[in-house]
Amino acid sequence: MGIEIDRERFDDADYTAFTQRLEHCLEALGQLLEQPGFGVGPRTIGAELELFLIDDQGHPLGRNQAILEDAGDPRLTLELDRFNLEVNPSPLPLAGQPLTGLGRELEGALESVRATAAAHGGRVAMVGILPTLRDQDLHRGAITDAPRYRALDWSLSRVKAEPFEIEISGRDPEPLRVVRDNIVMEGANTSFQVHLRVDPADYVPSFNAAQLATAPVLAAAGNSPIFLGRVLWEETRIALFEQAADDRDAPGRERLVSRVAFGTDWLRTSILDLFEESVRHHEPLLPICGDQDPLLALGAAGVPRLDELRLHQGTVWRWNRAIYDSGFGGHLRIEMRPLPAGPTVTDMLANAAFLLGLTLALAPGADDWTGKLLFARAHANFYDAARLGLEAELEWPGADGTPERVGAAELVPRLLPEARRGLVEAGVDAGEADRLLGVIGDRAASGQTGAVWQRRTLAALEGKVGREQAVGELLERYLELQATGDPVHTWPVQG
């Protein structure tokens, strides 16, 4: 987030100073965006992969700090819960074979984590939600022992002033309901986040394109159907994370925007609108000011770090999030957050190829389709895809731009040539695009996403051994198949 978090409690003076600095950051960013040439440069991609650490029984292993220290790998960092780590590969140019390079770096980092975890009696699982998580695993003591996470827990609880309630209805007849007085549930889900650098002049259509592209990609990528022994959404992470970090009280849910949300409308003017929305709608959680005044830094003909704005933006978790970074001369990115971790590196790279390619293909026509497709329909698409996966029906711009309802299982194959065009026109090697998008095509044809495989396997097992044991056996089979590297649509379902 740019600023070292070394405090856990804050007073009124902290919030006043931080709010003033946020206003200076917005003013500096507005001026910076008007400077000719700012942020212009080659497209690049980046990623973040969150992981579960587990013991030999498949239960969470709360040793992330010890494993991080012993691994000594600069690509690794802590995450919110003690059983989570995050991999941060280096950014790569979009042109050429970026996803092949990203895959190599992910595999290298995963090998490092696995070897170090094994020395601590642990293993690594790449999955959106660990199927074997139990209610007793999720308590305040499971939050990583670091000032940043203690401060975040204290601040969110301060703003909300009532317990965090998780209530999700899914495929099981009884809905899941869990109540916590802390933010531990945020760490119960892990994602594979993809970053795309975008020139300022292209940001509005590109961001809107990412918003539209997300639903069909998510429908084909679900990998989080089981939480606390219940079969819920195909991508339960979406509902879980939104509720686990929702700082609104009961009356506020009717009139306030959640900290974790898909969005409120198509982006109309500038990336600045997204940052202003974050500042206007959400109280600061970590009001710590950096040592640089953004307006003074800008006046010195520099590129300001905008520490406070970046820190605040890091506590507003839009599913597609605006990123400002002062590195590489200053640039803008779209952080695409909806994709789950797993099932394999190949599956994650295929999901990324589909999302990046479709975003790039849709962007040039965004002015047309944003005028015909209500944002409310894109919003509904996102949640329908998360709930139902390939069984969802999505509203999509037709050939003449008029919206039509299409089943996701039909729409995904139809969009793959568009995604290929978007990648190839951006300079991605055609062979790489064909290989990874072919995985999505085969997955859609088989109907077997990671979520579907988990549900089918659970159904095949639980009639023989009961759900609790079946979930444990499911995870062991999942990890065995994950280790092969074969994409999930090829995985057998065995009772």
Element (H, E) at 224: none
Question: For tokens 């709360």, what's the residue?
Answer: 62
Q: Distance of CA 132 to CAs 61, 236, 471, Å?
A: 12, 14, 6
Residue 1: pLDDT band (50, 70, 90) is very low
Assess whether pLDDT exceeds 90 at residue 297. yes
**Cα–Cα distance for residue pair 281/28, rounded to 1 Å:** 20
Q: In this structure, are residues 288 and 7 in contact, taking their beta carbons and an 8 Å threshold?
A: yes
Residue 167: beta bridge partners?
A: 177
Residue type at 488 in one-letter notation: V
Rounded Cα–Cα distance for residues 210 and 258 (Å): 20
At 100-153, the pLDDT tens digits run 999 999 999 999 999 999 999 999 999 999 999 999 999 999 999 999 999 999
Residue 2's pLDDT band (cuts 50, 70, 90): low
Instruction: List, in order, residues 6 or more apart from 197 with CB less than 8 Å away.
Output: 41, 42, 43, 44, 45, 91, 94, 331, 332, 333
Q: Which residue has the tokens 């013991």?
A: 55
Q: Is the pLDDT reported for residue 312 higher than 70?
A: yes
- Statement: the pTM of the whole predicted model exceeds 0.85: yes
Q: How far apart are CA 96 and CA 423, in angstroms?
A: 10
37: left (phi over 0), alpha (psi -120 to 50) or beta: left
Average pLDDT, the chain: 96
Per-residue pLDDT band at 495 (split at 50, 70, 90) = confident
Q: What is the C-alpha end-to-end distance of the chain, expressed in Å?
A: 46
> C-alpha distances in angstroms, 281 versus 162, 238, 270?
19, 21, 17
Nearest Cα neighbor of 344 from 485, 223, 202, 165 is 485
